[in-house]
Structure 1
Amino acid sequence: MSECASPHHARKDTPVQRFFADEVSIAADLFDLAAPSLQQPLVARLVPTHAALPTLDLHQDSGNVVVGRGKNIAEDYRVDTSDKLSARHCELIVDPVTLRVELRDLSTNGTFLNGRRLAKEERVALQNGDRVELTRPVDSGDDEQALGVVVNDMAANDQVKFIFQRLKQETTQARMSEELTCSLCRSIFHRPCSVLPCMHVFCAGCISVWVAQGQQHTCPECHESITGIHPTHRLQIRAENFLLSDLARRRTSEELAQLDAADKIPLSGMSIGKRSRSDDDDDDSEHQLHHDCGSDTARAVRHAALTFGHAVPLAGPQCSECRTPSPIDGFQCPIGGPHLRCSACACGFAARPLCGRPQRCHVCNFAFCHLYRAGGCERSDVMPFMPFKEHKPLSVLPPQTFNGNTIEQDILSTYLAARRILLQDAWSAALTKLEAGEWVPDMVLINGAIKADSPVCQQCVATVFARLLFDYRRHIAPHELSESVTKRPNCWYGKECRMQFYNHQHAQNFNHVCYQEKRKE
């Protein structure tokens, strides 16, 4: 078998990108198991409309959070910019199962949702884009105009206003029950495990029995051949949270004991391959564990930290340079030397940041082996990694252009269409400016400012191009744009403005392809 065989390709109805995301999810499961996060995923946040106010983050395990100006309020949720707030002003409730977020008023002066004052102790579900005000709303007519031209000093007016932003989609109890039900035993997952490559999930005990009884190891749902089985740690957390909210769905201790006794899946997962006769003679219920880099499961299961670009020593499976010197410079990995895991082909390779050959994307810092290995990466056609200037020009406007402001995106698209300028032509013009050092994408990167020859992965190309289009649009001569565009005054907050995303009229009335006025360009 080759040192790094091509990964199992996804089925026709599954994009390659989804398969890669599944491998990343598996590795992240192991990483969380080894070093669990202090907090569960971020579900939503209350984004302030004034810089003096804090951003209120809500995690899946936040539970009931009280917001106010009292000294006993958690620092992350203490708002003391106005004396009109109560010590315990309102409560935010996060359902860990459905991810529903509710607001409850506890105050004296009132909590306002989209301009309506909530009744005392009233609970209301929050929707994406809702306005949450902890002080009485001001007259919106004059205030919105002032926001775009001058600094709207909310602190001076004692205004405390947030916009609710949902980051994870809300679901229902019934849908969660369906998603967390094992198709073999029809109960909520107990130690859920995903089978590779199809990623269907079953209880560890259930799939262990299924595999032990079957002559052909195929998935119980789709009947695709199983190459490996791996515990799904994150799904286990969701199942536990669900059972806390629905005690009637819990299994009896006898049922759990039976499942645990049948469970043959180790914490690190297992790979299933063809068994030799000696294997059959020894034990029909045990399955061969692969440790070759070419195995999908070996790549997906081992060293979860490699997925995130951390350099760690490889234990067991070795890269080609562990066995033989590199044909490029003669380097051979020392015993226990640090390795990275390629985000494209998922194989390990030596971590050598000073070798002169790029190993990481300049933007996301993920590891890629294409520019390091002799012969490149086997999946470079699917997930290219090369200098930015060598990437194929984009033919579609990146959705992150102008930070997602669709008004400004439409203006640029109209300009290009009216002058029959292809987006590829805009790419070429921007690349020329980047190579000359005249345009530098406004990005905060740990690797320093990006250049035309900086190594960039396919996923980050759109991000870099979107930032270059900001400069492209700013350098369009005013007489080439319609009067309805050029007569708009610059928003004081410029591209950093939050109102442009939830106030359509404000986004139309003010130009946001500019910098914040207090910033030196």
Structure 2
Amino acid sequence: MTPFRALYGRDPPIILKYSENSFVVDDVDRQLTDRDSILKELKANLAKAQDSLKSYSDGKRREVHYAVGDSVYLKIQPYHLKSLARRVNEKLSLRFYGPYTVAEKSILQADSSLRRSDEEIALLDSYASIKSNLVIKSGKKLQRKRAHSPHEDENDSIELPCPQCGTEVSGFRCNPNTVHLQCHACGGMMPSRTDINVPQHCVGCDRAFCGAYWQAQVVNRSDIHPMCSHDTFKPISERTLSRIPFVAHEMNRHEQDITERCIRQTGRTLQDVISDWIGKFNNREIDRTRLPLNHAEAITAGTHTCNECYDKLVSFLLYWFRITTPKHCLPQDVRQREDCWYGHACRTQHHNEEHARKRNHVCRPTRGTH
């Protein structure tokens, strides 16, 4: 089917070649003759352009012959093939998947660009080692520190990304088609599952973490399979802290010191203050517009978050603690400070120590577009 027929539902009109001097009217004869000359020139230019493009493209190709048993990589367009697990950023997906062993030669005749030399396979393996949430095959054998017996040699030829590959644990065993997630913290693997209520992604950043999953599966850490501890990924209500996060108040250490002094003046601990504000947050008494986390409206006290997202949440709550604190409750030496025009969005506070100290930056901007 031609593009014209696909667009209009019919074949294009046929342009008949004109025989010279077929018309007795000179103007008509001249116009039809010129038309044929123009069409002939257009066809010649199109053929020349096509030959140029073909020669340029053929310069990057080579003829390759395959045999049954050869290893090939498959190039898959992640935007079109939705059978693969979705990623947060799909354009960073792997370009090639495999290697796969050729089973029938007739398959290879469809595309002669699939075969790769040993050097190219090694190069693609190095590219495929970049960390990502979706892991089809890592291309690397897992390191083992314990000695293994000869009867395990057969199993060593099969890569087992996670403890549930090849062995049933807590009623689940991975099959050859199981998609695995790579933990952002430890780099270990876990099966991507939707049949359980154990979270495998941080709601605040959409990254995968394995701590909660392996704890629910009652699997302990080992030298063969990396795993995170439970503390790296757990509900907000179960977390504790003893210091103000480094990212609090836009990393302004003067404002962090003032907040710490305010808390000490109340006779309470930082954990007590944060627990109270988490309760207000959970009851939706706080505007979440400035919360720098994904899916902010879906976050509750029982939501699992990673350490980084928890620090951002605590910083957000400390901001609300400060702006709701009356001036007479602030330390004596900072009560007379004027608010910075640009408030928490001020960029000067990051490189001008004097400005960061003299002006209050825990406030809303009154200038600029924020």
Alignment of 1:10-29 (within 5 A): none
Amino acid at match of 2:270: L
Distance verdict in 2 for CA 1:268–1:496, change over 3 Å = same
Output the CA distance in 2 between the equivalents of 1:355 and 1:338.
Answer: 15
For 1:424, the equivalent position in structure 2 comes to 271
1:496 maps to 2:339: no
Higher gyration radius (CA)? 2
The 8 Å contact of residues 385 and 455 in structure 1, kept in 2 or not, is answered as: yes
Pairwise CA distance, 1:463: 2.5
Any residues of structure 2 matched to 1:391-402 within 5 Å, and which? 391=239, 393-402=240-249
TM-score by length of 1: 0.38
Work out the CA distance in 1 between the residues paired with 2:156 and 2:307: 29
User: Match for 1:316: what amino acid?
Assistant: E
User: Which residue in 1 is equivalent to 2:218?
Assistant: 375
Superposition pairs of residues 240-389 of structure 1, within 5 angstroms: 268=140, 271=143, 316-317=159-160, 319=162, 323=166, 327=170, 333=174, 335-343=176-184, 346-352=187-193, 355-372=196-213, 373-375=216-218, 378=221, 381=229, 383-389=231-237
Tell me the distance in 2 between the aligned counterparts of 1:270 and 1:342. 15
Please state whether the residue corresponding to 1:317 is helix, strand or coil: coil
Which secondary structure does the structure 1 equivalent of 2:190 belong to? strand
- Aligned residue in 1 for 2:306: 457
Which whole-Å CA distance do the structure 2 matches of 1:345 and 1:357 have between them?
A: 18
> Contact conserved, 1:361 with 1:457, CA < 8 A, in 2?
yes
Structure 1 CA distance, aligned partners of 2:228 and 2:340? 43
Give the C-alpha shift of residue 232 in structure 1: 11
CA 1:480–1:377: 2 relative to 1, 3 Å = farther
- d(CA) in 2 for partners of 1:273, 1:429: 47
The farther-off stretch of 399-408 and 452-461 is: 452-461
| Structure with a larger share of its residues in strand | 1
SS for the counterpart of 1:409 is helix
1: CA distance, partners of 2:247 / 2:296: 21
Q: Deviations over 1:214-264 (max 9, x none)?
A: xxxxxxxxxxxxxxxx98999xxxxxxxxxxxxxxxxxxxxxxxxxxxxxx
Give the equivalent residue in structure 1 for 2:38. Answer: none
Per the alignment, in what secondary structure is the counterpart of residue 386 of structure 1? Answer: strand
Q: What does residue 292 of structure 2 align with?
A: 444
Q: Gaps spanning 5+ residues in structure 2: where?
A: 1-91, 97-124, 130-138, 222-226
User: Pairwise CA RMSD of aligned residues?
Assistant: 4.5
Note the 1:76-87 alignment, pairs <5 A. none
Report the Cα offset of residue 353 of structure 1. 5.1
Residues 468 and 270 of structure 1, relative CA distance in 2, 3 Å threshold: closer
Q: Aligned partners of 1:339 and 1:519: how far apart in 2?
A: 46
What TM-score does the superposition give when structure 2 sets the normalisation length? 0.51
What is the alpha-carbon distance in structure 2 between the residues aligned to residue 369 and residue 233 of structure 1?
21
Indicate the SS of the match to 1:411: helix
Quote how far apart the aligned CAs of 1:471 are: 0.8
String of CA shifts for 1:457-479, please: whole Å, max 9, x gaps: 23432232122111111111222
Contact 1:440-1:468 within 8 A present in 2 as well:
no
CA-CA distance at 1:389 after TM superposition: 1.0
Stretches of structure 1 that go unaligned for 5 or more consecutive residues are 1-31, 37-229, 235-266, 280-287, 293-314
Superimposed CA distance per residue, residues 126-183 of structure 1 (whole angstroms, 9 cap, x where no aligned partner)? xxxxxxxxxxxxxxxxxxxxxxxxxxxxxxxxxxxxxxxxxxxxxxxxxxxxxxxxxx
- 2: CA distance, partners of 1:354 / 1:448: 25
Matched residue of 2:355: which SS?
Answer: helix
Which string of whole-angstrom CA distances, capped at 9 and with x for unpartnered residues, describes residues 340-396 of structure 1?
A: 1334665422213574331112223332234334226646646432111111x2111
CA distance in 1: counterparts of 2:147 and 2:356, whole angstroms = 64
TM-fit CA distance, 1:397: 1.5
* Equivalent in the alignment of 2:320: 471
Amino acid at match of 2:246: P
Contact 2:181 2:192 in 1 (8 A): yes
Q: Distance in 2 between matches of 1:448 and 1:317?
A: 36
Q: Give the 5 Å matches for 1:213-228.
A: none
Give matches, 1:129-144, under 5 Å. Answer: none
Shift of 1:405: 0.5
8 A Cα contact 1:271 1:290, kept in partner: no
CA distance in 1, matches of 2:156, 2:150: 19
- Quickly say closer, same or farther: Cα 1:35–1:417, change in 2 above 3 A: farther
Number of residue pairs aligned between Structure 1 and Structure 2: 236
C-alpha contact (below 8 Å) 2:261/2:331 kept by paired residues: no
